[in-house]
């Protein structure tokens, strides 16, 4: 992002006016260096630049009162900006585009984003930065004339909203603390050792500039911490420079050259800090440190006169070529039969049967997903598999749009509704889901003898029974890959015969709904070992079982031993949580599975079925809770720990709601490998249980 103009009205020092940063010279571009005479009015202008470039919701959590910028309290204060946003740092629009936005604040009210009709005639597309914008969006840094430095108190885990606010605290407060330079250098060295391109880029540039400007030997930087050995004038210069590098690294963690990203940086009277270093050296260093940044600096006139003319002539190019028009996708406005797959993760078998039925009548069938809202459809049939809030919202949207034209079905709507027998008996239309390829899908058996209160199968399907055969499912030479949707195949009559057919015909099978390991004996175990049990995509061998509570672990261990699995096998156990287990029982299940060779866990949160039991968390935290969690995070599987992270997040939120605090080791485990920039917001909001609080600066 580059700022072109910042306009304001009803401010304390400047009243109403504009800060114009662009020119019309040839070649067109922005002055890279903008030097202004320092003073209270100019300081306020820098602060207004910061205000304009951030969201209204963001300022609700800023620790400094914006009322100091507000002029006449009877009238609203307004700030707006015209900025050039870059692709892909700020926007997905290509190429460089002009955007406008801003804020308006009335007395004793929180700031609100300006709407297009409120803008002062600025030309550009309206774009207000949202409160949850990525750290790279609208990148702006600001440094006041006074600040302090963290000394062993910096927290490098906070790389989210907290970090965005800290980018310009020193412009508003003399007590603001910048990045601990010594700790940050150690952090860079550690990450560079693991061939992280961003840290290596920062270290390499730092070494070169220190050698050029302060005669610091590059070879001396093999040690982890050279901060104390640097000359005092170099340390004064590097404190904000390293702070800027830290924020760029956080915002662009995957960039091989974070210091080369575009952005804006504001300085108020930096000469107060650089002392005898000289403005020429200071400007040359920053010009090379951040070569694509726009600099806006307040200086005393006598110091500004020493600025190098060559740097003042530098321009940042603005290639504002007209963006190519976006191609609009072709949308169907009228259809004959519209089939809507509301929420299936797998192809919806009922819709495949319906499709065959209507095509046999010569009708044209169109498949859509989610909340497809077409203007006109002769008939609409929607199928929902799940019964949860997300699916219910989709269904309500479909009902509002289609009204009486909508025909709803599926387990997520009605457990007892069935397709007519003549449609159920039709072969599936595989053309409806071309991504299935050569995979077949369907049922050999339906029903389950278990009567688990949390499951829809007892009500929907009843007792186990045979409903199909392999020849029917593998219709039309679909190969030997079969996705089986059976509820409990091993409990059905003739189960061994079906397994023998699969083994003798060398059929690859994905037992999607898992196998009941309690019904395994030696013969069945041998048959299952002969069958190529696979994952859904048939890219590797996979066995699927369930373990929803701690009852019968000895029996599970006995049956598991019949398979003679090795550590290299992929044996997935589906584990439901959040129903009627305790933390101690969950830990026991995970610890038990970790002891089985080749086994790993896939966790699923309990979702109440229609008219089913609500989850009971009474007594969940019985026992030594902190000790149990400490032990839980040490139970690590060789694969699919991303699934366990889902359980950790659920547990962390439940813990925060119950005890009003976070379990720090659990939080560290959640963010050890994934989404590390989100750790700050997670801590700040107690795992999302409360709105973010502004942390006091240390």
The string of pLDDT tens digits covering residues 390-404 is 999 999 999 999 988
Q: Tell me the pLDDT of the chain averaged across its residues.
A: 86
What pTM, to 2 d.p., does this model score?
Answer: 0.70
Q: Do residues 133 and 184 both lie within one domain?
A: yes
Q: What is the mean pLDDT of residues 243-251?
A: 91
* pLDDT, tens only, 561-585: 999 999 889 999 999 999 989 999 9
Judgement on whether residues 79 and 145 belong to the same structural domain of the protein: yes
**645 and 601 in a common domain:** yes
Each residue of 188-211: pLDDT tens digit? Answer: 888 887 767 889 999 999 999 998
Supply the CATH number for residue 94's domain: 3.40.50
Share of the chain above pLDDT 70, in %: 88
Which stretch, 127-136, 231-240, 283-292, 453-462, has highest mean pLDDT?
A: 283-292
Same domain, 300 and 196: yes
Q: Check whether residue 298 and residue 352 sit in a common domain.
A: no
Does residue 598 lie in a domain region?
yes
Tell me the C-alpha distance between 646 and 674, whole Å.
12
Q: Give tens-digit pLDDT for 323-338.
A: 455 545 445 456 889 9
- Do 222 and 349 reside in the same domain of the chain? no
**Given this model, what pLDDT does residue 167 score?**
86
CA distance 302 to 48: 25
Say whether pLDDT at 356 is over 80. yes
Q: Please tell me the least confidently modeled range out of 385-389, 573-577, 641-645, 679-683.
A: 679-683
- Residues 197, 121, single domain; the answer is yes
* Tokens coding 648: 């950790």
DSSP assignment letter at 613:
P
Instruction: Output 395 or 216, whichever has higher pLDDT.
Output: 395
Element of type H or E holding 297: strand 293-299
Partner residues linked to 465 by β-bridges: 446
**Predicted pLDDT of residue 698:** 33
Tell me the sheet residues that pair with 482: 440, 509
Domain boundary at 401, 422, 443, which?
422
3-state secondary structure of 561: helix
Gap between the Cα atoms of 609 and 388, Å rounded = 8
> Would you say residue 646 lies in a domain?
yes
Q: Which residue has the tokens 């600066």?
A: 697
Assess whether pLDDT exceeds 50 at residue 375: yes
* 118 plus 55 within the same structural domain: yes
**pLDDT, position 129:** 63
Evaluate whether residue 497 is within a structural domain: no
Confidence of residue 161 (pLDDT cuts 50, 70, 90): very low
Identify the pLDDT of residue 225.
61
Asked whether residue 583 falls in the same domain as residue 657, the answer is yes
> CA–CA separation, 683 vs 664, rounded Å?
9
φ/ψ of 33, rounded to 5, equals -110, 125
In-domain check, residue 198: yes
What confidence tens digit (pLDDT) does each residue in 629-653 have?
Answer: 999 999 999 888 888 999 999 999 9
* Residue listed under structure tokens 């079905």: 409
Q: Which structural domain range is residue 276 located in?
A: 2-317
Cβ pair 115, 27 in contact under 8 A:
no
Whether residue 521 is contained in a domain is answered as: no
Own/partner contacts of 660-669, CB < 8 Å, gap of 24 or more, are: 660/686, 661/686, 662/686, 662/687, 663/626, 663/629, 665/629, 665/630, 665/633, 666/629, 666/632, 666/633, 669/633
Q: Would you say residue 216 has pLDDT above 90?
A: no
Indicate the residue among 271, 301, 317 that finishes a domain.
317
Mean pLDDT of 615-623: 87
Same domain, 267 and 373: no
Q: Report, as an integer, the average pLDDT of 29-40.
A: 92
In which band, very low, low, confident or very high, does the pLDDT at 273 lie, cut at 50, 70 and 90?
Answer: low
3-state secondary structure of 603: strand
Whether residues 293 and 386 share a domain: the answer is no
Total number of domains constituting the chain: 3
Q: How confident is the model at residue 697 (pLDDT cuts 50, 70, 90)?
A: very low
Give the whole-angstrom CA distance, residue 523 versus residue 505. Answer: 18
Residue where one domain finishes, among candidates 422, 456, 484: 422
Check whether residue 155 and residue 304 sit in a common domain. Answer: yes
Query: Would residue 7 count as lying in a domain?
Result: yes
Query: In the predicted model, what is the mean pLDDT of residues 346-365?
Result: 95
pLDDT tens for 91-125 read: 776 667 788 888 888 877 778 888 777 776 555 56
- Please, which residues bridge with residue 148 across strands? 177
Residue 481 has a CB neighbour count (10 Å cut-off) of 20
37 or 610, which is more confident: 37
In which band, very low, low, confident or very high, does the pLDDT at 451 lie, cut at 50, 70 and 90? confident
Q: What pLDDT does 241 receive? A: 95
Most confidently modeled range among 135-139, 148-152, 160-164, 569-573: 569-573
Whether residue 487 is contained in a domain is answered as: no
325 belongs to a structural domain: no
């Amino acid at each position: 992002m580059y700022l072109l103009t910042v306009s304001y009205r009803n401010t304390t020092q400047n009243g109403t006016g504009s800060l114009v940063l662009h020119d019309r010279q040839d070649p067109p571009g922005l002055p890279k260096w903008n030097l202004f005479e320092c003073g209270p009015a100019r300081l306020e202008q820098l602060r207004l630049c910061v205000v304009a470039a951030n969201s209204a919701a963001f300022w609700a959590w800023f620790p400094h009162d914006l009322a100091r910028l507000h002029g006449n309290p009877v009238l609203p204060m307004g700030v707006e900006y015209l900025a050039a946003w870059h692709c892909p740092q700020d926007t997905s629009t290509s190429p460089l585009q002009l955007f406008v936005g801003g804020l308006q604040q009335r007395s004793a009210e929180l700031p609100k984003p300006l709407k297009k009709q409120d803008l002062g005639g600025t030309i550009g597309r309206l774009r207000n930065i949202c409160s949850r914008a990525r750290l790279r969006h609208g990148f702006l840094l600001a440094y006041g004339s006074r600040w302090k430095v963290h000394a062993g108190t910096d927290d490098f885990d906070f790389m989210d909203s907290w970090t965005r606010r800290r980018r310009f605290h020193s412009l508003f407060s003399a007590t603001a603390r910048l990045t601990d330079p010594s700790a940050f250098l150690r952090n860079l060295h550690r990450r560079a050792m693991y061939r992280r391109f961003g840290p290596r880029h920062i270290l390499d540039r730092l070494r070169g500039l220190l050698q050029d400007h302060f005669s610091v030997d590059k070879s001396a930087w093999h040690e982890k911490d050279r901060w104390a050995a640097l000359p005092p004038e170099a340390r004064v210069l590097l404190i904000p420079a390293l702070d800027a590098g830290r924020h760029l690294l956080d915002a662009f963690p995957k960039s091989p050259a974070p210091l080369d990203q575009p952005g804006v940086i504001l300085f108020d009277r930096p000469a107060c800090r650089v002392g005898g270093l000289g403005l020429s050296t200071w400007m040359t260093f920053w010009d090379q440190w951040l070569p694509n940044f726009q600099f806006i600096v307040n200086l005393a006139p006598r110091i500004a006169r020493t600025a190098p003319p060559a740097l003042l002539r530098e321009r940042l190019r603005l290639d504002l070529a007209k963006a190519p028009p976006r191609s609009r996708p072709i949308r169907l406005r009228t259809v004959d039969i519209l089939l809507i797959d509301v929420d299936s993760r797998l192809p919806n078998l009922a819709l495949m049967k319906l499709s065959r039925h209507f095509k046999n009548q010569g009708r044209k069938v169109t498949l859509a997903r989610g909340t497809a809202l077409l203007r006109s459809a002769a008939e609409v049939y929607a199928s929902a598999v799940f019964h949860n809030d997300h699916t219910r919202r989709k269904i309500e949207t479909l009902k509002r749009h289609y009204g009486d034209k909508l025909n709803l079905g599926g387990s997520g709507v009605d457990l007892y509704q069935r397709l007519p027998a003549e449609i159920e008996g039709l072969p599936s239309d595989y053309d409806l889901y071309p991504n299935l390829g050569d995979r077949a899908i369907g049922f050999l058996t339906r029903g389950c003898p278990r009567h688990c209160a949390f499951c829809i199968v007892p009500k929907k399907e009843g007792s186990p029974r045979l409903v199909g055969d392999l020849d029917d499912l593998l219709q039309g030479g679909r190969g030997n890959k079969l996705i089986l949707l059976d509820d409990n195949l091993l409990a059905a009559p003739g189960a061994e015969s079906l397994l023998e057919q699969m083994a003798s015909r060398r059929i690859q099978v994905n037992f999607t709904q898992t196998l009941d390991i309690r019904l395994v004996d030696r013969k069945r175990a041998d048959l299952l070992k002969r069958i190529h049990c696979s994952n859904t995509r048939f890219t590797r061998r996979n066995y699927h079982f369930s373990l929803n509570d701690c009852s019968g672990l000895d029996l599970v261990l006995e049956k598991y031993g019949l398979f003679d699995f090795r550590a290299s096998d992929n044996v997935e156990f589906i584990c439901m949580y959040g129903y009627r287990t305790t933390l101690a029982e969950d830990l026991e299940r995970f610890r038990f599975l970790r002891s089985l060779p080749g086994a790993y866990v896939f966790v699923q949160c309990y979702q109440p079925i229609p008219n089913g039991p609500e989850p009971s968390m009474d007594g969940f935290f019985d026992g030594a809770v902190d000790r149990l969690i400490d032990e839980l995070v040490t139970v690590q599987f060789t694969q699919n720990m991303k699934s366990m992270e889902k359980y950790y997040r659920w547990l962390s939120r439940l813990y925060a709601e119950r005890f009003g605090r976070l379990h720090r080791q659990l939080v560290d485990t959640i963010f050890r490998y994934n989404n590390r920039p989100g750790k700050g917001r997670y801590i700040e909001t107690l795992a999302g249980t409360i709105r973010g609080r502004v942390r006091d600066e240390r």
